[in-house]
Amino acid sequence: MRKLILLICLFLGLAASGWAEEPQPLIEEEDWTNVRPAVDPSLNGHAPALTWWCGPYAEEVGWAVQVANRWNQLHPDQPVELRSLPPHRLAEDVFREAIAAGHTPDLTNFLFPTNAHEFAARGALLSLDSMPGMMDYLARRCGQGADRSFRSPDGCLYQFPWKGNPLMMQFNAAMFRRYNLRPPRTYSEFLKSARVLAAAGRAEGRLLHLWAPNPGPQFWHRYYDFYPLYLAASGGHGLLTWQGKAAFDNPAGVAVMAFLADLWKEGLAPRQNLYPDDLDQVRAFADGGLGMMLTGPWNILQVRDMAGEEFQFDFAQLPVPDSRPAAEPVYSYGNYRNFGIFSSCRNQALAAEFVRFATSNESDLGFLYSALQLPVRNDLEEEPLFVLALQQSPAALLKFAVQGRWEEPVGNVPHFNRVLQILSDELVLCAVEGKKTPEQAVHDAARRVDAGD
């Protein structure tokens, strides 16, 4: 009871300190990377002891501002300077340029797992293994063995798991009621519902799509169709073996490719990229032209901002092949971003302390409340304060927390994006253009991966 009282007091203190406040406006772009100051760069006259680059999204910037301000209040002689990455560039490209120019920050919370391996191989990141107490803290927060999914090929850990958002299918509830649909569990149910919407659209003289996977050839689109669908179809098995060889030339891989091919072949998904920007897709979803999106919990706020508080939507698990039993759990891809400390950092012990500070109970709770996203914790469904936060958040967020039991990150190899590019090449040839069978496309992709193409 005493522990619960303390937790409730902490919650009340967080509410009073303004975790839900609007993010502070960003100061105009000014330096070579266009990384933008997110808090007063004067730091009350103190030179920064640490520089921190956070992600570009408003909700995450708002959280980071709160964390930085709280740290600076507690450490006035060792302040952190916060800057946000530019919103219209790939963060990985900004980091690559900073590494090449010798202008990296001390730390970031926006490392993508695969790129952390790449940067570590270039000597740009510090190993966390030798930092006193770090591995014990990671095990307490994230669970025993949580580091295994993020270790680099040299056996060292260069990234600290921060947030992990599983992907689910978001659906327009009002649209589903209007056309007497329900979230499809299997591929055949999905195709049937897509045909119903397509026919209704023709009758109404407009385009209606159940889902619009991106037909483009760029590898990153496959994080939002083939890869999560493969995890769902395979029961959580990854695309690669531990040795980095292809593991997807199997019935699950063929089923996913065939499902996507059916969508495009029947005209149930557009062959043109109708939604070049994420907000274009959200707008079509809000306007009733698109029934579903494969997305993460960050889209809760995006849809609310676009469509208003009264707009009704919900989330469902990913569709699976008809042969998968309904009682089996459905896996999905977990979209992770992690903390990392760059080797240019001169205050390494202080940076490690800051990582622990920014991933503490208080900081994680603030992130959950303000961004409606999930920190990587093994107690989200057990610790009373986090349980309370999930209960007070939109009901959909609890669904994501439950889905987090069955999520997988990217393949733990440096060349994972190259694997996705190969799969993307073959997906376009097969599913979008109809020039290969699903079996041939999957087999050719596996052969290219194993050949080191």
State pLDDT tens for residues 203-221. 999 999 999 999 999 999 9
Beta partners for 342? Answer: 125
Residue from 19, 120, 8 nearest 371 by CA: 19
pLDDT in tens, 55-75: 999 999 999 999 999 999 999
Where do the CATH 3.40.190.10 domains begin and end in the chain?
15-165+335-398, 168-333+412-450
Please report the pLDDT score of residue 63 as a whole number. Answer: 96
Residue from 263, 303, 262, 275 nearest 175 by CA: 303
State the pLDDT confidence band at 88, using cuts at 50, 70 and 90: confident
How does 240-275 read in b/e, with b if 16+ C-beta sit within 10 Å? beeebebbbbeebbbbbbbbbbbbbeeebbbeeebb
Checking if the pLDDT of 330 tops 80, the result is: yes
Average pLDDT, the chain: 90
pTM of the model: 0.89
Residue 282 has φ and ψ, to the nearest 5°, of -60, -40
Please report the pLDDT score of residue 36 as a whole number. Answer: 60
CATH superfamily for 15-165+335-398 is Periplasmic binding protein-like II (3.40.190.10)
Checking if the pLDDT of 7 tops 60, the result is: no
Please report the pLDDT score of residue 128 as a whole number. Answer: 97
Checking if the pLDDT of 8 tops 60, the result is: no
**CATH number of this structure's domain 168-333+412-450, picked from the four choices 3.40.390.10, 3.30.70.2860, 1.10.3260.10, 3.40.190.10:** 3.40.190.10
Residue 165 has φ and ψ, to the nearest 5°, of -105, 110
State the pLDDT confidence band at 26, using cuts at 50, 70 and 90: very low
Beta strands per DSSP E along 212-359: 292-295, 313-316, 332-341
DSSP secondary structure string for all residues of 69-134? HHHHHH-TTS-EEEEE--TTS-HHHHHHHHHHHT---SEEEEE-HHHHHHHHHTT-B--STTSTTH
Range 37-57 average pLDDT: 77
Beta partners for 289? Answer: none
